[in-house]
Amino acid sequence: MADLKRELTLFDLTMIAIGGTIGSGIFLTPSLIAQELSFPVLILAVWLLGGILALSGALTFAELGGMIPEAGGVYRFLADSYGGLAGFLYGWVYFLVVNTGGLGALALAFATYFGYLVPLSSAGVTLVAIGGLIGLTVINVLGVRAGGVFSDIFTILKLAGIAGLLVLAFGWGDFSGIDLGVLWPSQDRSLSGALSVALIGVLWSYGGWQHATYTAAEAKNPSHTVPRALMLGAGVVVAVYVAVNVAYMMLLPVEVIASSDQVAADAAARVLGPVGGSLIALTIFISTFGTAGIYTLTAPRIYFAMARDGVFFRSVASVHPRYNTPAWAIILQTVWGIVLILFWGTFEELISYVVFTDWIFFGLAGASVFILRRKKPDAPRPYRTLGYPFTPLLFVGGSAWFVISTMIEKPAQAGVGLLFLALGVPVYYYWKRKAR
């Protein structure tokens, strides 16, 4: 019987952690954040806050990834800590909206920016988005090595494009024009409410480093490579995001950032003119296309693990006899992603319920460090969380605050996320009964 092959290196997993995080968020969300927090010091503070949460999460998940180096990553952490239902609900919402919704958003993003290079109608953008996902599916079905090489190449290319933007800002921008003096003026809206809404965009942008855990069953020496990749990847992303936001504000006033739908392109055009906008459009296309490729590679391992546990379609548990990939899991995810593209909401609506649902399980997974230390005190732990117990407490507390704030500030989107979770409960018991 065919099974998964261990072919991914530490470099591959680190590129997955970086490339799975840096997608469309850093190019699309700064304007949304500037609308909520119209002062540079608050904008930088919210990106640093998101970065601290991401780093604390990566340090926490590093212990879990070293201890449980199996396909599915976070799914397995939750199932081992809380039981099968918790793991299933994570995989359920990941398949139904979180990853497939993110994949659809990325597909529309790379198709839209491809349209800046080659003029497309609205129908053309949809066709390019769907065609791109199909192409990525073929690459990842052909082998985990092929998917890993794709991830490496496109992550390096996107980092090179971002480096070019930083060179423009620090070479021709004006740091002295960034006013760091004003914290929060007297306004009707509370600072806490504005921060919680702004954090939706920030945490959407920081999400993705956990994808390195999903392919642990195909990593070489996973007990060591998975923790290192998580920490390296999250650290690089935080540094890049803070630097990019400084670059935006060196090239554009905050009020222009808040009103711009193409912040990065407008910033580059400030120095290079129309050529700069085209170069940034190419960078964003590369970035979003590369991240979509990583999502196509990694998340199907969750559905594969669920199927192996008897709580998903049996065919999804199979491995291609020639390519040693979970081919049906990859294909099923793409089909559902295409369905979401064809029945689309707005970008803001999508990220609200996607991020809300995702961070419920992030918090639970972070707390599983405490549970597993009690349940399995003698289990091998090649890496132990730095700063335990404060690091995981920070991550779990931050996750809980964000989830509660989203329920207060965006109750409709939070309600949709909770509805998706509730729908998963009878589905889980259906699969369990069918397995028996």
What sign does the CA torsion over 107, 109, 112, 114 have?
A: negative
pLDDT at 390: 96
* Per-residue 3-state assignment (H helix, E strand, C coil) for 71-106: CCCHHHHHHHHHCHHHHHHHHHHHHHHHHHHHHHHH
What local confidence, expressed as pLDDT, does residue 188 receive? Answer: 58
Of the candidates 115, 414, 428, the one whose C-alpha atom is nearest the C-alpha of residue 282 is: 115
Distance between CA 240 and CA 159 in Å, rounded? 9
Q: Give me the pLDDT at residue 187, please.
A: 58
Long-range contacts of residues 137-143, Cβ cutoff 8 Å, at least 24 apart: 137/296, 137/330, 137/331, 137/334, 139/293, 139/296, 140/293, 140/296, 140/297, 140/300, 140/325, 140/330, 141/320, 141/323, 141/325, 141/327, 141/330, 141/331, 142/323, 142/325, 143/7, 143/323, 143/324, 143/325
Calpha distance 395→2 (Å, rounded): 38
* Domain spans in the chain, listed from the N-terminal domain onward: 10-435
Answer for the pair 43, 263: CB distance below 8 angstroms, yes or no.
no
| Interatomic CA distance for residues 94 and 157, integer angstroms | 28
For 203-233, write each residue's pLDDT tens digit: 888 988 999 999 999 999 999 999 999 999 9
Please name the amino acid found at residue 204: W
Q: Are 394 and 56 in contact (CB under 8 A)?
A: yes
Right CATH for 10-435 from 1.20.1740.10, 2.60.40.10, 3.20.10.10, 1.25.40.340: 1.20.1740.10
Q: What is the pTM of this model?
A: 0.91
What span, in angstroms and rounded, lies between the C-alpha atoms of 287 and 137? 17
**Mean pLDDT of the chain, nearest integer:** 88
The count of other CB atoms within 10 Å of the CB of residue 184 is 15
Give the model's pLDDT for residue 59. Answer: 94
What are the residue ranges in the chain where pLDDT is below 50? Answer: none
